[in-house]
């Protein structure tokens, strides 16, 4: 019964938290509507999800959230500094092909969100076989270092979370 009503508890919790943060209120009506959304949205989008998500290694997931938040803030500050100081002539925008070992569609979706949310990077395209990710980078200093960063900081923990047995 519980699984039929709430197919993805982590998604429902995340939706409720995001709703409350966006509304900046814990008024009972806001909480009630957020809870309703947290139940209804996963139910109507269940068919859109590529596979059932099995959360493995929650400590790794928490550590990855911390890393992603740190990188998001650092990237935002760097991009803002470059734009505000009008150092756009020094920018080196580029597309980078990042080889991937991860194949889990949920892990790839999380990777795409992490890269797209961080100012200065944007998910470009995933090869049909899922082996290469094309990423646009706002200011690329070292392609090899960027590839290694994506693989070590994001792909490796995501593989541990979504693909390890």
Instruction: List, for residues 81-133, the tens digit of each pLDDT value.
Output: 888 887 677 788 899 999 999 988 888 888 988 888 888 888 888 888 889 99
Residues 28 and 108 in one domain: no
User: Does 15 map to a domain?
Assistant: yes
What rounded mean pLDDT belongs to the chain? 87
Domain, as residue range, for 150: 58-162
Residues 43 and 63 in one domain: no
Q: Which residue has the higher pLDDT, 70 or 48?
A: 70
**How many distinct structural domains can be found in the chain?**
2
CB 5 within 8 A of CB 20: no
User: Does 24 map to a domain?
Assistant: yes
Residues 107 and 142 in one domain: yes
Angstrom distances, CA of residue 5 to CA of 1, 2, 42, 44, 107: 6, 5, 9, 11, 24
- Cα–Cα dist 84/64, whole Å: 30
Residue 46 pLDDT > 90: no
What are 99's strand-pairing partners? 132
């Amino acid at each position: 019964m519980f699984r039929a009503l709430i197919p993805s508890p982590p998604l429902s919790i995340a939706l409720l938290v995001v709703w409350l943060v966006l509304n900046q209120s814990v008024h009972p009506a806001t909480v009630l509507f957020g809870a309703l959304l947290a139940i209804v949205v996963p139910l109507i989008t269940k068919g859109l999800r590529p596979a059932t998500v099995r959360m493995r290694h929650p400590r790794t997931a928490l550590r990855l959230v911390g890393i992603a938040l740190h990188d998001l803030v650092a990237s935002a500050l760097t991009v803002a500094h470059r734009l505000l100081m009008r150092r756009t002539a020094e920018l080196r925008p580029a597309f980078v092909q990042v080889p991937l070992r991860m194949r889990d569609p949920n892990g790839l979706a999380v990777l795409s969100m992490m890269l797209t949310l961080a100012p200065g990077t944007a998910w470009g395209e995933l090869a049909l076989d899922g082996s290469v990710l094309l990423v646009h980078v706002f200011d690329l200093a070292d392609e090899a270092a960027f590839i290694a960063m994506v693989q070590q900081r994001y792909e490796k923990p995501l593989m541990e979370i979504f693909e390890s047995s």
